[in-house]
Amino acid sequence: MAVIDDVLAICVFLLVMSFILPITSGGSVPKYLIILIVIFPVLIGLITGGITAFIMKKIRSEKVCAITVFAGVLVTAAMTALANHYLMPVPVLNFMLSGMVYSATFANILDEKKLEDIMKYCTPSISACFALIVLNLGAPLDYHLILGAGIFTAVYIIARAAGKIGGAALGAQLSHAPATVKKYLGLVILPHSGVSLVMTGIAISALKGDFGQYGNIVRGTIAAAAVINEIIAVFLARKGFKAAGEMGKAIKCK
């Protein structure tokens, strides 16, 4: 659910960005980017993910498979960079979307047992890299802007919470999911993630020059919302897990 949530958010964000860029760049960005900004990363991820899965099916060693996964990451990043440089008028392709599609592709092609064995070697490195990404993206945020964000922060937090909780409840209702899913899924997906910081960096890079003041508003709003959400939303997520009867269930299964 978290991955699907992130992928949809990135796709919507990039589509909105494709409308904003022509305005902030003085109309120098062609309109066909609206489609290519999503299609190129998806195609790159599908190609590299499919090839990586095909290679891993031929390999018996779990360690070699893990190395193949990381090699695929580098190839995916290189292809996205080349597409950015040679196929796009401005470098707007999103590396995170390429990576998400890449990993989702080979994860759905490989059988579950082999994937689980491979991820034993990949997970520690992935966790370390994710921590570095969040630190790198969060470090430039000016936390002095938190107090100045004011009403924008309140609107962002309330709208985000309403979308998460309301969307999860509606989805559960339409899919006839259990009552616990309808009541508590929205709460457990409230905490902020590094994806919002990635989007913040992209948005700020597009809001320069005459639009710099709006970049400061975005920077302050997300910084404030991230701090507040990590205090409140994590507590609410824990309450949601507990109310749904999911707390400690994984430990009992072992």
Instruction: Tell me which residue range forms the domain holding 178.
Output: 141-254
Do residue 97 and residue 157 come from a single domain?
no
Do residue 12 and residue 78 come from a single domain?
yes
Non-local CB neighbours of 171 within 8 Å, separated by 6+ positions: 177
Do residue 23 and residue 132 come from a single domain?
yes
Render pLDDT for 98-126 as a digit per residue (tens, 0 to 9). Answer: 888 899 899 889 888 888 888 888 888 88
Where is the domain boundary, 89, 118, 139? 139
Long-range contacts from 242-247, C-beta under 8 angstroms, 24+ separation: 243/180, 243/183, 243/184, 244/180, 244/181, 244/183, 244/184, 244/188, 245/180, 246/180
CA–CA gap between residue 5 and residue 3 (Å, rounded): 5
Do residue 152 and residue 128 come from a single domain?
no
Record the pTM.
0.67
Do residue 147 and residue 97 come from a single domain?
no
Render pLDDT for 25-60 as a digit per residue (tens, 0 to 9). Answer: 665 556 666 677 778 888 999 999 999 999 998 888
Do residue 151 and residue 131 come from a single domain?
no
Copy the structure tokens of residue 24.
Answer: 């902030």
- Is the per-residue pLDDT at 197 higher than 80? no
Number of structural domains (the chain) is 2
Do residue 180 and residue 106 come from a single domain?
no
